[in-house]
Amino acid sequence: MIPAAPDATELIARARKLLAEHSPATTSRIDFLRARFDAGLAWVHYPVGLGGLGAPRALQAVVDAELTAAGAPDNDPRRIGIGLGMAAPTVLAYGSEDVKARFLRPLWTGEEVWCQLFSEPGAGSDLAALGTRAVRDEQSGDWIVDGQKVWTSSAHTARWAILIARTDPDLPKHRGITYFVCDMTDPGVEVRPLRQITGEAEFNEVFLTGVRIPDAHRLGEVGDGWRVAQTTLMNERVSIGGGRLPREGGMIGKAAATWRERPELRTHDLHQRLLDLWVDAEVARLTGERLRQQLVAGQPGPEGSAMKLGFARLNQLISGLEVELLGEEGLLYSDWTMVRPELVDFTGRDAGYRYLRAKGNSIEGGTTEVLLNIVAERVLGLPAEPRNDKDVPWKELAR
């Protein structure tokens, strides 16, 4: 007989037991996080033995509140956002039991950082056109990967990567792709910084030369990588566009603070525009909350694409308004030093930084043009865009 999933009362009791046995005051951060995962309180909706208890996802908030109130450490989700938001749900859905057991614990505790090897030069917006090849070594069963990826966040700090590669060029582009977990410490992996308009290099180019991946690190069936990737991509858009913010959090908080602190800069026109954007930001925040509640009932749907679209549009409008509000002062840029940050910080530094960094919001995590197509076809049910390459073998496509 399968035991019933714990309710809120039992989860609170389990959280207090964890705190009693591993006091945050005397237990190291990593040891506490490991114990929390083993107690099934990391993500309570995951299966028993994989950091969860098979409980309703909504009850995670009950556990989080209990542990936060006791001063327990968190697992720094900003630093490991790709692992938590994209790799973990894909590993859970498509990984073997051994793969789940190997990867999910250090992923959740943050001991192993993940990145995403998807976009390529010439295959970003049209991701299914990717050309990185994975060829099976018939003797060992391993896959040998050669190719190049681009716009890879956290590649310079990642231990593991989720990777899609072409395994059958004779099939149409969506059908000849397979999905893998790649070891970023392999000698065939080279990571090069990719400097952005901000001066930073949070993105990277990744060159893969003869990288050997065991077949055990394949997620899903051979040739079914596009379907597996959809799980990653839907979670990615929710992760980027549906992040939890307090009222006046994010870009609108920065602009509102400037408005309050600098009354000499105010004009009637800017006031009206700021009010409009404040309302839009609040609508986006509450819509994100509703989207997260929908996740309780299942996997994210294409609505996450709409959230990501709104996120990019709002960030660019608000950061533009802040620069305009500050006038010449808004055009100043404090530091062009090339750095390789471990965190993506959309609101960091000064107004000029926020304005420049926001330009990337309409590219990263799916371009605005691609997401508009998804919303049109999968949310609104409009006719699909004509595609004359749908049934053509990938090797015959013009590139």
Please pick, among 202, 236, 303, 364, the residue that the annotation labels catalytic: 236
- The per-residue DSSP string of 78-120 comes to TTTHHIIIIIHHHHHHHS-HHHHHHHHHHHHHTSS-EEEE--B
Helix axes 225-241, 268-295, angle to 10 degrees: 130
Contact present, 161 and 114 (Cβ < 8 Å) = yes
Two tokens at 377? 């076809």
Residue with tokens 């950061």: 319
**3 state DSSP class of 223:** coil
E strand intervals along 214-362: 218-219
Residue type, position 321, single letter: L
> Residue 309 and residue 303: Cα distance in Å, rounded?
10
Reply yes or no on whether 236 is catalytic: yes
Query: How many Cα atoms within 13 Å fall on the side-chain side of residue 15?
Result: 25
Distance CA 255, CA 209 (A): 46
Please give the positions annotated as active site: 236
